[in-house]
Amino acid sequence: MKPLRVGLIGYGFMGRAHSNAFKQVSQFFELKHRPVLKAVCARDAVKAKAFAQNWGYESIETDWRRLVERDDIDLIDIASPNNTHAEIAMAAAKAGKMILCEKPLAMNGPQGEKMVAAIARAGVPNMVWYNYRRIPAVTLAKQLIDEGRLGRIFHYRAKFLQDWTINPELPQGGAGLWRLDIKVAGSGVTGDLLAHCIDTALWLNGSIDTVTAMTETFVKERKHNLTGKVEKVGIDDASAFLARFSNGSLATFESTRYARGHKALYTFEINGEHGSLAWDLHDLHRIQCFEHKDEGRVRGWRNIHVTDSDQPYMKNWWVPGLAIGYEHSFVHQVADFIQGLDSGKPAAPSFKDALQTEYVTDAVLKSARTKRWEKVKKSK
Amino acid sequence: MKPLRVGLIGYGFMGRAHSNAFKQVSQFFELKHRPVLKAVCARDAVKAKAFAQNWGYESIETDWRRLVERDDIDLIDIASPNNTHAEIAMAAAKAGKMILCEKPLAMNGPQGEKMVAAIARAGVPNMVWYNYRRIPAVTLAKQLIDEGRLGRIFHYRAKFLQDWTINPELPQGGAGLWRLDIKVAGSGVTGDLLAHCIDTALWLNGSIDTVTAMTETFVKERKHNLTGKVEKVGIDDASAFLARFSNGSLATFESTRYARGHKALYTFEINGEHGSLAWDLHDLHRIQCFEHKDEGRVRGWRNIHVTDSDQPYMKNWWVPGLAIGYEHSFVHQVADFIQGLDSGKPAAPSFKDALQTEYVTDAVLKSARTKRWEKVKKSK
Amino acid sequence: MKPLRVGLIGYGFMGRAHSNAFKQVSQFFELKHRPVLKAVCARDAVKAKAFAQNWGYESIETDWRRLVERDDIDLIDIASPNNTHAEIAMAAAKAGKMILCEKPLAMNGPQGEKMVAAIARAGVPNMVWYNYRRIPAVTLAKQLIDEGRLGRIFHYRAKFLQDWTINPELPQGGAGLWRLDIKVAGSGVTGDLLAHCIDTALWLNGSIDTVTAMTETFVKERKHNLTGKVEKVGIDDASAFLARFSNGSLATFESTRYARGHKALYTFEINGEHGSLAWDLHDLHRIQCFEHKDEGRVRGWRNIHVTDSDQPYMKNWWVPGLAIGYEHSFVHQVADFIQGLDSGKPAAPSFKDALQTEYVTDAVLKSARTKRWEKVKKSK
Amino acid sequence: MKPLRVGLIGYGFMGRAHSNAFKQVSQFFELKHRPVLKAVCARDAVKAKAFAQNWGYESIETDWRRLVERDDIDLIDIASPNNTHAEIAMAAAKAGKMILCEKPLAMNGPQGEKMVAAIARAGVPNMVWYNYRRIPAVTLAKQLIDEGRLGRIFHYRAKFLQDWTINPELPQGGAGLWRLDIKVAGSGVTGDLLAHCIDTALWLNGSIDTVTAMTETFVKERKHNLTGKVEKVGIDDASAFLARFSNGSLATFESTRYARGHKALYTFEINGEHGSLAWDLHDLHRIQCFEHKDEGRVRGWRNIHVTDSDQPYMKNWWVPGLAIGYEHSFVHQVADFIQGLDSGKPAAPSFKDALQTEYVTDAVLKSARTKRWEKVKKSK
């Protein structure tokens, strides 16, 4: 088994999720590479050291540029805030490193294009952490759709509802809160939550042609945690859009952090001529499936507990009926990435795939401003 | 269309449910007889008159013996408390009337035997109001089981949970509370709630051979509403038993009025070699169905919304997706009773069928006393 | 008790639902008027007679103009197709009759305005059958919102999903299918299904300012059942829109007859600062309620089975835990209409209230054509 | 941080679950000891080596006696079949090792008593892997009950339903199938599944006084996988019992491997004077909670998604809304065990606690034979 020497940038929520995935994957999946936690990089040396010790990283860096230059690193994993992705990724590509990048890929489409170009020039393996593709129930949905079981698709609908920013006293910016800072995050829920919905939708249902959108910022001013000043809020608190897919289906998308009672309610549903599928992150181990071919009298939505060995990824875990959780989607993504290295067939979504999500979010944000239907740019 | 002249005894909860059924049935079902509300009988003339006026009964009686003797009555409907069923039914049979009787049939098996004998001698059409058989989802379960879709049966489980008697200040006896008075009700939840569970079980899964049971009275004394005295409580507040069916399957049954949070949670589930079914009175328009023959990857419990025209009784009501409720089970029972008259094939459960439920509840109550497994008497 | 002499026009699905309501209401609600089924009107005398006999209407008419002129009729109930509402209602108003009209009120806003003007001139009691307001769970939602329990509202979302027109062989027009005929229906799902969603939304969350919409006709040509010709389909099969309410909340609305697996899935959810509510027509007797004030550790969506006597309308029916169904919403509407007569405080929605829904559907259909945000006209 | 040097015996399903827990715990919980995977022991050296390599065990043993004697081992973890527990545990105790033992503790109560005595003599830290206590939703239930929120308890009900042995061609015995071999397992579902239900019940609701039980073996003969012979099946395929707890509450328990459609449906519900709780392993991250003190109109079962930082164990994982799975219950158990070492307050269930479960299962199996109510022996 060959080592895959990882250099991680960032030690927050995603830094933990990725590290756990790198550690668990070798025990549960048979692969030809084994991740080795070589270094973690963060500006604060004390925190970096504590993180390294906890997770078993062999060393630390406080400047990502040094990390990128190190010879003993094969793969740079970018788990730092959105506004840092592009510069790091382009440098890492130039240095010939494989790259895993947290979502969203970039601050916007044009920035993402530069990243994709850099990756293409460097020819390095790359992937973006749209982890929800690897929830077994979601992967099963992909399989069923690709097999044509739903037939012609008429409708797609997705939403991602949270409620954690309703309190107007919550500051914007600073540790754990950079997602509320427009300069760091690039946008609000559009790039954070809708981006997940869009990535899954493009994967399951193909490309989106046009959108009409609205966004809203319910709390107009918040204190900035770093400066201490009360400043205008730049992000979108809520974002919704109508869309038309290239396959002729219609869609509704919605995300917000003001839906009281929902912590992380990412749901999608797809309706086709022959059947429908629905999924919900709050019960991520289940997929609801309706098939019109079932006998009429006993036709109904099948509530499928995706924990059997013939369902995606599940033969690698426990026994039927015993659910896995959120973190496993990251383990699966690492497994698939390594499987891609081993087999020469790269796992998706690549930077290029993720760029398409940037194009959609760009069109959404533009439409919210222009109050018109906007075309979505297509990757070549 | 021929008239079916009804004489109702009792004007409580069940008197209302039956009256509504007699009135609605002709609009929704094509039948050769139409119920005519001829008379209602109750000891209190004022209340009887008010009830008659409200529901359109043409006349009243204050003595059920007079009602039974009237020539202009075809059918006696017994909706009075349990301790009155036997005497009325035997007199009505002797008078050659058709009889509908509220459940439970009798105060116990021996009393029920006399009623069955009287009915047999008189040769009159008869039925007991075990209305839950006629919830469309339950009837669908019956059809599926009878078609053999579940294969060999391994397990049956049923429970009926309520919480309305937890308050120790609730009196026993009197209007609306006679179900707490042992002299009037005969038993507590065993005859009231378990009887429903047992009737359905016998219908769906055949006869029960042996039982072992326990009962409990949590509140030992209550004021009697009529006498004003605090007296020992004679009824069982909770009753549970294990059973073995003649088909080799095992069962658990439970009922209580002390299950906080449940209003009328009658549920049953049946597990067979090839599939399973589950139902719940709180969402009575749904049946859950699992079939092992479904493809493995997409196997799951089908959540069937029983509102389609190819599902029992539903073509007579509205359109798919639009649910009917509790009261419709009574309408269906009247429809089936009349259909039985029209066709000469009597609808079930007859008095004789209902006697078998008495035998089971007798065995349950006996076992709770003897603390042994008891055999269930079988009707010849 | 005074008689309320009803003349019904139309004998289809809605004619049955209304007739049942007129018949049941007096048994379950204490009111000062009792509906008397005086006459039913339909062009086909044979069918009208059969309907009259089944439901107990005393007489028939084959020309609605004659019905409207009859002195022995107090109330005209319009249950005929959409394109007949305006003419009948205006004539009935002129004749001084009370009027109940099926939804949608009119073919469009301008036509509705004429109806509202006629009603206003005549000063007659009037109501539109937006029956879903009277589902107990929905009425409870209204009460909770009006009490301010949700606080400032951020989001509203509603959808009404069906799947009964996916089959391209289904004809357009003719008995039971006039909803597919643009000339008779005025629009497709927008006026049929979205109108329900909009009525409830306006009632619960106040007025809508602006919308952006899309509509689609998936099956472009169908045979017309009456002419036998294959003709272009004029109705919208699917319709979705984004909206901004006057109270600052954002909304998504969607309806379709192409969502495989859904029979009549009308759902709405409303998210406020302090709590949220969600409802679903497929389980109409339940409301989901989240309240942030609950203790953190045990906070969750409360699944409320709306069958208790302290919940709207339920003290008039059975006992806790026993559900009522779809048809009861019509009974409640008649009860409230009569209560309005008795008390002098008219029940909603009046023709004027329903006109506001026409304005929203007009704006939706317009936006779908212009591909712009459109303002919603406001009633004065 | 001090090392806690682990010697694992067994490399099956439980060997994996435990190993994963030992590896993950230090990253997610702040503790004073860190597990070190010192050695794994299995009779088959090749398999032991492969397992050691995969999980990072430093060495292997093929004889557990040698493992127990090693000086570099602090803790013996017994994850081998039931019939090996006693001998290993007693030797390990004698050698002064800490001991973790898979459930059930022993083949029966008398054997368990010897183990408890050995442990007591040795005075070594010990625990049994009844992991379901550490599902956050279950731990939350424990907290709520201990706070008295449910008041006087009336009812407890639990079941554990599976369907994996319905196929009569499934062999008994051999790798992965020893649970079907009476000599190795000691009993069937009683010791395997019911033992889990009983452990949780004793923890949540106190001791059980008496039981009446039935067991059944549906498939009477199976081929033995090791010998190749068709032999009588000695285990119980299904087991159900009624029980009375010392606190006066009544209970029903059921387990089976013949409930088609259920993979690992462990559910429990507890009903008290003031409220009720219900849990389900298939959606293990949720607890249902009903509290009578809630306002009547909006009272209902709260569906609690146990993923917030103020809920047990969850502050150590991800963010609200993101579920953990089955394996985490083992991580929590190791965390609590170490916390017990660190603090001097041992975590439960100890061997002595688990012995009480043996007494209940003994009484259940005895009652199934005697067909009488049996008293449950109580630990001193």
Q: Is the pLDDT of residue B46 over 90?
A: yes
Quick one: angle between helices D136-146 and D195-205, nearest 10? 30
What is the C-alpha to C-alpha distance for residues B224 and B203, in angstroms, rounded to an integer? 37
Q: Is A301's Cβ below 8 Å from some Cβ in B?
A: yes
pLDDT band of residue B227 (cuts 50, 70, 90) is: confident
Per-residue pLDDT of chain D (380 residues), as tens digits, is: 899 999 999 999 999 999 999 999 999 999 999 999 999 999 999 999 999 999 999 999 999 999 999 999 999 999 999 999 999 999 999 999 999 999 999 999 999 999 999 999 999 999 999 999 999 999 999 999 999 999 999 999 999 999 999 999 999 987 779 999 999 999 999 999 999 999 999 999 999 999 999 999 999 999 998 888 999 999 999 999 999 999 999 999 999 999 999 999 999 999 999 999 999 999 999 999 999 999 999 999 999 999 999 999 999 999 999 999 999 999 999 999 999 999 999 999 999 999 999 999 999 999 999 999 999 999 87
CA-based nearest distance A331→chain B, Å = 22
A300 contact residues in B (CB cutoff 8 A): 289, 302-305
Reported residue count of chain C is: 380
**Among D288, D302, D305, D314, which would you mutate to test the C interface (most chain C Cβ atoms within 10 Å of its Cβ)?**
D302
Give the pLDDT of residue B173: 85
**In a shared domain, residues A295 and A315:** yes
Do the bridges between strand B153-161 and strand B250-256 make them parallel or antiparallel, or are there none, so unpaired?
Answer: parallel
pLDDT band of residue B234 (cuts 50, 70, 90) is: very high
Q: Per residue in C151-185, is it b (16+ CB within 10 Å) or e — as a string? A: eebbbbbbbbbbbebbeeeebbbeeebbbbbbebb
- B255: alpha, beta or left? (left if phi > 0; alpha if psi -120 to 50): beta
- From B102, B131, B160, give the residue that closes a domain: B131
- CATH code for the domain in which residue D120 is found: 3.40.50.720
Nearest to A252 among C254, C271, C272 (CB): C254
Backbone angles phi, psi at C372, to 5 degrees: -130, 165
Q: Is B300's Cβ below 8 Å from some Cβ in A?
A: yes
- From A108, A131, A154, give the residue that closes a domain: A131
Backbone angles phi, psi at A277, to 5 degrees: -135, 145
Has the ipTM of the complex gone over 0.90?
A: yes
Give the pLDDT of residue A173: 85
Say yes or no for a CB contact (<8 Å) between D308 and C301: no
- Asked whether B17 and B329 are in contact (CB, 8 A), the reply is no
Q: Is C293's Cβ below 8 Å from some Cβ in D?
A: no
Give the pLDDT of residue A46: 97
Q: Look at residue A379 and tell me if it is in a domain.
A: no
Which is nearest to B155 in space by CA: B204, B199, B190? B204
**In a shared domain, residues B195 and B327:** yes
DSSP state of A77: E
| HSE-CB of B326 using CA atoms within 13 angstroms | 22
**pLDDT tens for residues C145-173?**
999 999 999 999 999 999 999 999 999 98
CA-based nearest distance A274→chain B, Å = 15
Q: Look at residue C96 and tell me if it is in a domain.
A: yes
**In a shared domain, residues A33 and A168:** no
Give the pLDDT of residue B345: 96
Say yes or no for a CB contact (<8 Å) between C302 and D298: yes
**In a shared domain, residues B275 and B344:** yes
Instruction: Measure Cα distances from C100 to C119, C330, C337, D60 in Å.
Output: 11, 12, 9, 84
Dihedral of CA A40/A45/A48/A50: which sign? positive
Say yes or no for a CB contact (<8 Å) between A263 and D323: no
Which is nearest to D258 in space by CA: A37, A187, B156? B156
What is the C-alpha to C-alpha distance for residues A134 and A196, in angstroms, rounded to an integer? 12
What are chain A's partners, defined as 3 or more CB pairs within 8 angstroms? B, C, D
**Parent domain of C229:** 132-374
CA-based nearest distance D309→chain C, Å = 9
Q: Could you tell me the two tokens for A75?
A: 């793969």
Instruction: Measure Cα distances from C240 to C153, C190, C216 in Å.
Output: 21, 9, 9
Quick one: angle between helices A45-55 and D13-28, nearest 10? 170
Do the bridges between strand B208-216 and strand A374-375 make them parallel or antiparallel, or are there none, so unpaired?
Answer: unpaired
**In a shared domain, residues C178 and C237:** yes
Say yes or no for a CB contact (<8 Å) between C298 and D291: yes
**In a shared domain, residues D335 and D264:** yes
Nearest to C308 among D291, D296, D301 (CB): D296
Three-state SS across D104-124? CCCCCHHHHHHHHHHHHHHCC
**In a shared domain, residues A330 and A224:** yes
> Identity (one letter) of the amino acid at C346?
P
Give the pLDDT of residue B70: 98
- Within chain C, which residues score under 50 in pLDDT? none
Q: Look at residue B379 and tell me if it is in a domain.
A: no
Q: Look at residue B120 and tell me if it is in a domain.
A: yes
B240 contact residues in D (CB cutoff 8 A): 242, 250, 252
Quote the pTM value: 0.98
- CATH code for the domain in which residue A363 is found: 3.30.360.10
Say yes or no for a CB contact (<8 Å) between D296 and C310: yes
- Asked whether B63 and B32 are in contact (CB, 8 A), the reply is no
Give the pLDDT of residue C139: 98
Dihedral of CA B18/B22/B28/B30: which sign? positive
B305 contact residues in A (CB cutoff 8 A): 300
> Identity (one letter) of the amino acid at A67?
L
- Asked whether A268 and A288 are in contact (CB, 8 A), the reply is no
Residues 166-195 of chain A whose Cβ lies under 8 A from any Cβ of chain C:
166
**In a shared domain, residues C336 and C230:** yes
Nearest to B298 among A289, A297, A299 (CB): A289
**Among B305, B308, B309, which would you mutate to test the C interface (most chain C Cβ atoms within 10 Å of its Cβ)?**
B305
- Asked whether C302 and D294 are in contact (CB, 8 A), the reply is yes
Contacting residues for A226 by C-beta, under 8 A, at least 6 apart: A173, A174
**In a shared domain, residues C68 and C197:** no
What is the C-alpha to C-alpha distance for residues B80 and B76, in angstroms, rounded to an integer? 12
Quick one: angle between helices A13-28 and D45-55, nearest 10? 170
Which is nearest to C146 in space by CA: C48, C235, C277? C277
Contacting residues for C182 by C-beta, under 8 A, at least 6 apart: C188, C233, C234, C235
pLDDT band of residue A379 (cuts 50, 70, 90) is: confident
Q: Per residue in A258-279, is it b (16+ CB within 10 Å) or e — as a string? A: bbbbbbbbbbbbbbbbebbbbb
What is the C-alpha to C-alpha distance for residues D130 and D350, in angstroms, rounded to an integer? 10
Nearest to A140 among B294, B297, B304 (CB): B297
Backbone angles phi, psi at C268, to 5 degrees: -140, 155
Q: Hunting for tokens 């979505």 — which residue is that? A: A376
Say yes or no for a CB contact (<8 Å) between A304 and B300: yes
Q: Is C303's Cβ below 8 Å from some Cβ in D?
A: yes
Q: How many CB atoms neighbour CB C81 within 10 A? A: 18
Q: Hunting for tokens 């004889």 — which residue is that? A: D63
Q: Look at residue D73 and tell me if it is in a domain.
A: yes
Q: Look at residue C194 and tell me if it is in a domain.
A: yes
What is the C-alpha to C-alpha distance for residues D260 and B249, in angstroms, rounded to an integer? 13
- From D131, D163, D197, give the residue that closes a domain: D131
Number of structural domains found in chain D = 2
**pLDDT tens for residues C231-242?**
999 999 999 999
What is the C-alpha to C-alpha distance for residues D373 and C247, in angstroms, rounded to an integer? 66
**pLDDT tens for residues A259-302?**
999 999 999 999 999 999 999 999 999 999 999 999 999 999 99
- Asked whether D201 and D364 are in contact (CB, 8 A), the reply is no
**In a shared domain, residues A75 and A151:** no
Q: Hunting for tokens 């909340």 — which residue is that? A: C249
Contacting residues for D342 by C-beta, under 8 A, at least 6 apart: D31, D32, D33
Say yes or no for a CB contact (<8 Å) between C325 and B324: yes
Q: Look at residue A313 and tell me if it is in a domain.
A: yes
Nearest to A166 among C244, C252, C273 (CB): C273
**In a shared domain, residues D191 and D219:** yes
Q: Look at residue C346 and tell me if it is in a domain.
A: yes
CA-based nearest distance D266→chain A, Å = 10
What is the C-alpha to C-alpha distance for residues B187 and B179, in angstroms, rounded to an integer? 8
**In a shared domain, residues A270 and A349:** yes
Give the pLDDT of residue D225: 84
